Amino acid sequence: MRHLRIANVEFSSRLFTGTGKFSANEVMEKALLTSGSELVTVALKRVDLQADSDDILRHLNHAQFNLLPNTSGVRTAKEAIFAAELAREALETNWLKLEIHPDPKYLMPDPIETLKAASELVKKGFVVLPYVHADPVLCKRLEDVGTAAVMPLGSPIGSNKGLRTKDFLEIIIDQSNVPVIVDAGIGAPSHAAMAMEMGADAVLVNTAIAVADDPVNMALAFKMAVDAGRIAFESKLGQTLSEAEASSPLTAFLD
């Protein structure tokens, strides 16, 4: 399985994970270690930046994990940039999952504010991974302003509905020159495997692991599914086109 490179970092695992919704930080730690994930996203709003040792961060203090702070909660580009700078200083990383959702009900990402903020943050030296709708043109625009990857959604965040945006994800994957990470909506290992078979570079999973009855084993299941999907993609899946028919009534005259 080929390694994934984003900015200057190589990842052997293509399963990225979230840290919310777990029943306890100990459970989160164990599940994420089991998942093999090397990039874990942390909501700035959940971390106590004033505390000497925040409990969430303490449980993520493993060489395996790279932290990906996210801006969940902000509604505008301006708020996102402010939060990003705070995160960079407090968590000592210039990596950022940029999420701007003015709509707190469905948590739909704002394309206009996201593009604006991404452009600014790249100039400020951030490695920007923007969470966006599965909008192929927007993904190209983000690539143009210099984001390190794009993170289109599979279905509404937390919905566990799978790849409802499949047709658009295929276009994004086809067109993109930066890694494509399918984020949000992946509710089962089979969804993750499908995204990887399609050629996504990675997936980000949170709710499906955190809310499972057994988060540690579910993390393992996702690890296996992501690996399987990726290996299948690299091995080139068989074509699904049906065989040409014996007689070719339309082109027979050429013989």
Q: Where along the sequence are the contacts to other proteins (CB under 8 A)?
A: 20-25, 43-49, 71, 73-75, 79, 82-83, 86, 102-106, 158-160, 207, 210-211
In three state form, how does the secondary structure of 9-75 look? EEECCCEEEECCCCCCHHHHHHHHHHHCCCEEEEEHHHCCCCCCCCHHHHHCCCCCCEEEEECCCCC
Residue 97 bears catalytic tag: yes
Residue among 21, 45, 78, 97 flagged as catalytic: 97
Scored b (16 or more CB within 10 A) or e, 158-181 reads: bbbbbbbbeebbbbbbeebebbbb
Q: Shortest gap between Cβ of 233 and other proteins (angstroms)?
A: 29
Q: Smaller CB distance to other proteins: residue 46 or 140?
A: 46
Q: Smaller CB distance to other proteins: residue 30 or 75?
A: 75
Q: Smaller CB distance to other proteins: residue 51 or 231?
A: 51
Q: Shortest gap between Cβ of 72 and other proteins (angstroms)?
A: 9
Q: Shortest gap between Cβ of 211 and other proteins (angstroms)?
A: 5
- Which residues participate in catalysis according to the annotation? 97
